[in-house]
Amino acid sequence: MRAHRIDRPADLDVVRESYDRVADNYADMVLTTGIGDIRRHPWLKASIDAFADSVGGLGPVLDVGCGPGTVTAYLDERGLDVSGVDLSPRMIENARRLHPRCRFSVASATDLGLGEESLGGVLGWWSLFNLPRDVLPQVLASFARALKPGGHFITATHVGDGDVLRTEAYGGVPVRWTTHRWQPERLVDLIERAGLRTVAELRLPADEHTGPGVVVTARKAG
């Protein structure tokens, strides 16, 4: 079977190093402030719960860009066969420390080597916004190929026009990554062009931590 090659972002190493630098601070903020804990955000929790209900029993679930593993662990508690991957080795070290019963590994969304129709569900939960605009469609297509018929994909990301260069994050740590913001209609179009059918969309207003966002859930036909 012919392998599908995804373009590797030129600044991937810079992005990885940036997330390694903020990983400890971010994990500490999860524990002390609840940032990233969906239990404290009812509408986000409802979206993840609906996703979990939809993919239960379909097969393995992959949390792409899992960070310190908060959502991965929640889905594990829900009884899913779930594992997490992240570009940042330090994020994965924190995930393994905080959630030792879960499975985590270091990997990029652009280089997962997913088997066709091998997964019941895929998450890109606030984790795909660093992918350049020409790379995201390729990653979405790889997710669509990896899903079994009836499998679901869920993503959450930042809404807006244009790109934002981030130079510090999570306690003033120096970083360098670009947040590629999307209008919901354009994101939905990309997901459907990848071969999935949108089943739900949740638009989120700006809050004290971030600007407006959107959650999109989509299903593979079958």
pLDDT tens digits for the chain (222 residues)?
Answer: 445 779 888 889 999 999 999 999 999 998 888 888 899 899 999 999 999 999 999 999 999 999 999 999 999 999 999 999 999 999 999 999 999 999 999 999 999 999 999 999 999 999 999 999 999 999 999 999 999 999 999 999 999 999 999 999 998 999 999 999 999 999 999 999 999 999 999 999 998 667 899 999 999 998
The ranges assigned to domains in the chain are 12-219
Query: pTM of the full predicted structure?
Result: 0.96
Q: Which CATH class name applies to 12-219?
A: alpha beta
The three-class DSSP label of residue 139 is helix
- Asked if 58 and 75 count as a contact pair (C-beta separation under 8 A), the reply is no
Contacts of 211 (CB under 8 A, 6+ apart): 158, 159, 160, 181
